[in-house]
A and B are shown apart, each in its own frame.
Chain A
Amino acid sequence: MNNTAKIIVVLTIISIISGGVLAVLDSFTRPRIEDYAEKVKNAAIYDVLPESVKVEVIKVKIDDEEREVYKAIKKNEVVAYAFQVSGSGFQSDLVLMVGVSPDFSELNSLKILSQMETPGLGTRIEEEWFIEQFKGLKLKPSVTYIKNAKPSKDNEIQAITGATISSAAIVDILNTEINKVRLAMNK
């Protein structure tokens, strides 16, 4: 066998084996990976809604894109809505799950689904004290943030020192993205 043919044959065989091994691997890791993403999302939906509610999925069209909104029902009454919102943080996309009151005037709770902010600084947006501040936060007229002081108004949160941009990004996502869903639902 001449050398050129040998090169082609060897590389082809290596690549075929590699592809085959990875295809087999994918077939049994994919369900687990998808299950996990689904579990994280589902847990987040219940986390941001009031306790013991029944959840119904409704579709809402925003900017020609169909989005899922989760309607929380208790004793035949809508008590809250949950949906996913996203936007840019300091260096990554922030994906949040939010729960809002039926008239969209108040935030029930918020959960961060994914973020890749600066380790040790921006990643602190996942800290409990920071997330706690969003419980019962008024969304009207708009959410604001304050630095180095305890928030004094019911539509205000305290930004994280050293992570002001990440904190502000969350506030910004709340103000713009929740409004989009509200308008799409005619609330």
Chain B
Amino acid sequence: MNKKPAIQELVKGLWDENPVLVQLLGLCPALAVTVSAENGLAMGLAATFVLLCSSFLVSLFRKVIPSQVRIAAYIVIIATFVTIADRFLAAFVPDISKSLGPFIPLIIVNCMILGRQEAFASKNGIGRSLLDALGMGLGFTMTLLLLSSIREILGSGTWFGMQIMWKGFGWKVMVLPPGAFLALGCLIAGANWINSRRKA
């Protein structure tokens, strides 16, 4: 059923089917944690780790899991890897763990991850599922990094904690929730604009 070259599965997540900008999935963490570039990157990588591991297992067991309880099975698998990521961050990078707060445990209900299991990993082989997960994860991470960089630079005048604007600069609204909506709205508008020009 799948005639596309395997590399397509990796590349599509980066732009054409970017989870945040095109599919509008996983917006809760994309809006909530992107107050600093460091947080955005950590959240992106944690979600990518969970997505890769979950897709691998779901694809591996796709013929064993009865379809009536597939969502329950996916959730248990996802929750296990989220807990691993959460404990790992708390043990080895406690500062980042502290600033991400409850959003790491909330990866469990990130619709991007559940969506990929349901739409892809449960129907495709391990190789393709891993490529798909990696592509989607990287697309998610890149978008979060971009969004959080914009918010941190405009809101606090810093990037990864380094002062890059003059001292005292800071457009406070950008680090508050409204700033997340403003920045994400502009990013999605930009992505749509580029796509419409590419098609034309």
Contact = CB atoms under 8 A, between A and B. Distances in A.
A116 B68 CA distance: 40
B144 interface: no
Q: Identify whether the interface residues of A are mostly helix, strand, loop, or mixed.
A: helix
Contact of A29 (B73, B80, B91, B172): B91
14 contacts: A10-B64, A10-B66, A11-B69, A11-B72, A11-B73, A11-B76, A22-B83, A22-B84, A26-B87, A29-B90, A33-B87, A36-B90, A119-B176, A120-B175
B45 interface: no
A119 B83 CA distance: 25
Interface string B82-124: 0110011011101000100100000000000000000000000
A7 B156 CA distance: 52
B25 interface: no
Contacts of A22: 80, 83-84
Contacts of A32: 91-92
Interface of A: 3, 6-7, 10-11, 14-15, 18, 21-22, 25-26, 29, 32-33, 36, 114, 116, 118-121, 162
Contact of B176 (A3, A7, A18, A121): A121
B77 A18 contact: yes
B35 A3 contact: no
Given A32-B92, A116-B101, A120-B175, A21 B69 contact: no
B142 interface: no
A18 to B, nearest CB: 4
Contacts of A18: 76-77, 79-80
Given A10-B65, A22-B80, A36 B94 contact: yes
A28 to B, nearest CB: 8
